[in-house]
Amino acid sequence: MRNTARWAAAFGLTAVAVCGPLTGAAVAAPDVAPASLYAPSALVLTTGHGGDAATAAPERAVTLSCAPGASGTHPAAAEACAELRGVGGDLDALKAREDVWCNKLYDPVTITVQGVWQGRRVSYERTFGNSCERDATGGSLFAF
């Protein structure tokens, strides 16, 4: 019974939040110009030691926004945005640099990227064998 009441309350609050209060009068949407000429691009990147995002406690997290200009708490925002643009926002297309040699010591590091890239939702997770492999692959994007 308690669960049913909680679900009903949650559903009611969600309906009010999404649809607005039911007052019986139709409300016309105001003519609002888009906030920007650019598609939204705002990401949160995390890194932590562990085999996957579920077991790796985030050690660092940064924000990155690339439109209209590079900004956020990422220490190399402009370079990171350029790197993302270079692969069209496809994080799976990032390849390891061939001029970097990493040891084979297994100390897994997991990167997550959540947010929006040019109006498209992004949810990315990748585990590297160690931080050297992460840095060789992510370049400035994962250097935070």
Q: What are the structural domain ranges in the chain?
A: 31-138
CATH number (3.30.350.10, 3.30.479.10, 3.10.105.10, 3.90.930.12) of 31-138 reads 3.30.350.10
Q: Express each pLDDT in 39-58 by its tens digit.
A: 788 999 999 999 999 989 88
The DSSP code for 39 is P
Token readout for 46 is 């995390």
With cut-offs at 50, 70 and 90, classify the pLDDT of residue 8: very low
Point out which residues pair with 125 in neighbouring strands.
112
Point out which residues pair with 112 in neighbouring strands.
46, 125
Q: Express each pLDDT in 88-122 by its tens digit.
A: 999 999 988 889 899 999 999 999 999 999 889 99
Point out which residues pair with 113 in neighbouring strands.
45, 124
CA distances from 49 to 56, 128, 129 (A): 5, 10, 10
pTM, two decimal places: 0.70
Token readout for 110 is 């997991």
CB atoms within 10 A of CB 53: 18
3-state secondary structure of 53: coil
